[in-house]
Amino acid sequence: MKFPFKNIALIGKHKSHDVAEPLLRMAEFLSAKGLSVLVDKQSAEHLPSCPYPAMELADIAGRVDLAIALGGDGTMLNIARTFSPHHVPMIGVNQGRLGFLTDLTLDNMLDVIEGMLEGQYVTERRLLLSARVMRGETEVFSGTAFNEVVVHRSQISSMVEFEVRIDGEYLYNQRADGLIVATPTGSTAYAMSAGGPILHPGLDVLELVPVCPHTLSNRPIVVRASSVLEILMHRTGDIRVRLDSHASFDMQLDDRIVVTRCPEHACLLHPVGHSYYHTLREKLLWNQAF
């Protein structure tokens, strides 16, 4: 990771017209400090005018030292897969709802960013997942996930039937609406809604959370992040694998999904004094008096 930062990418919430004013305000602030600003091309389309170079996200990734996302967790999930292979750290400004990944607010972003540009930040590495769909010995789909890899039924009303193996060892056969393989980051997303535990992002683990399993004794399980997870489909129909709600693939009978830890990490920068437990209290309303 390079410091001090000289070339900065700005990415706004996808298809949001409300992002124009804060994004231009941030761009002007950074430019006035003599920093080079690049704007995501899709974000630039929602600006009344853009005096800054606008490029495709994939082209920006290899040219910048820092990425600042103005949006919600979905915006951060979207850019993490692009910037992580280039080891570009990311800062999130919350313009969404919960915002577990976005620390800054529209009101305090300039003051906080000024301190972070001077080195007043803490660095956090977040685990990513790699997923491959194997059809026999042929790889027919692959991708990266920040939150989770999900196997789920699409249009059918019957349950999904699959087998799970961990490091080659048989774990169970399952009949359920689906299965979530989540990172610690994803433990506060779909996995939490399905009854999975909240995992501290510093843990080097993954969790498997069944969605509405047909066996009451089947519970979520936490495994080492170095584990190789295999999910073998045992029935045909509308069954799909989905990565972070951004990429999906329709499965066939006997397709095998292999999920492993991605060699790259997502690098997040937080203001000094950042606390994950404070974030939980604030976002999940744990600090409300009864």
| Active-site amino acid positions | 73
Cα-based angle 126, 262, 171 (whole degrees, multiple of 5) = 100
The total number of residues shown for the chain amounts to 290
**Angle of helix 109-117 versus helix 20-32 axis, rounded to 10:** 30
For 270, the enclosing helix (H) or strand (E) is: strand 256-271
Are 102 and 92 in contact by the 8 Å Cβ rule? The answer is: yes
**Which residues fall within 8 angstroms of residue 61, CB to CB, at 6 or more apart?**
9, 82, 83, 85, 86, 88
Nearest Cα residue to 30 out of 91, 101, 97: 91
**Which residues fall within 8 angstroms of residue 137, CB to CB, at 6 or more apart?**
none
Nearest Cα residue to 261 out of 188, 185, 193, 196: 185
3 state DSSP class of 5: coil
Distance CA 234, CA 143 (A): 22
Are 239 and 216 in contact by the 8 Å Cβ rule? The answer is: no
